[in-house]
Amino acid sequence: MDARETVLYSDRPSSEEQEIQTFNRLVTIGFIQACRVGVPSAERQDCARYFALHLFHKTLSDNLIENEPYLFRAAHNFACNYRRNLPVYLCIDAIPEDCLQSDSGVEFHRIELRCLFERLLSLLTPKQMEVVRRYYYEGESIQQIALSLQITVGGVKMHLHRAKATLKKAIVAEYILK
């Protein structure tokens, strides 16, 4: 080997270094998506590591580290599924500290129910979430929602109906059948 080949060879990371870099990149992508889909902060690092472990060998064997859109989509799907499988009490980081330390059980349960409902909303499509938010939270009429989203009144009613059916099925499966 001449001097130039030696320099080029030494600049390349070793196989072990590449694996470490790949794993760390997967953890980073998993963490970003865990934040985006609302995984509670106490669980984000675990979600990211599980994602990296889940996809590590496939990423190396198929050289997927260059395909970032695929990795971000896979991480997003993984984080959504991870969040759906979390117990409800892990929403506790959304509960204010003063509420946890007070004897206000009513306020605690109200916030706990809000966390549960937000978790269940993640089961809906984005359009269903938007219609539910506007109709139930903001008090908009069906006609107002239809105009602002540029869909028909029947379309708004369909999204509300399907959202209610999805939420009902999830509640029955999660809390009544268990």
pLDDT tens digits for range 44-57: 788 888 888 888 88
Q: Are 165 and 121 contacting, i.e. CB atoms less than 8 angstroms apart?
A: no
Angle between helices 68-84 and 44-62 (to 10 degrees): 140
Which band of pLDDT confidence, cut at 50, 70 and 90, is reported for residue 95?
very low
Report the SS3 class of residue 40.
coil
Which band of pLDDT confidence, cut at 50, 70 and 90, is reported for residue 87?
low
- Supply the pLDDT for residue 94: 46
- Type of residue found at 87: P
pTM above 0.75, yes or no: no
- Supply the pLDDT for residue 110: 60
Closest to 108 in 3D by CA, of 96, 125, 123: 96
pLDDT over 70 for what percent of the chain? 71
Asked if residue 77 has pLDDT above 80, the reply is: yes
For all residues of the chain together, what is the average pLDDT?
A: 75
- Supply the pLDDT for residue 10: 47
- Supply the pLDDT for residue 160: 92
Which band of pLDDT confidence, cut at 50, 70 and 90, is reported for residue 133?
confident
pLDDT winner (highest mean) among 27-41, 49-63, 113-127, 138-152: 138-152
Asked if residue 170 has pLDDT above 60, the reply is: yes
CA pair distance 101, 11, nearest whole angstrom: 56
- Supply the pLDDT for residue 6: 45
- Condensed to tens digits (0 to 9), the pLDDT of residues 54-76 reads 888 888 778 788 888 888 888 88
User: What residue ranges in 44-176 does DSSP mark as E strands?
Assistant: none
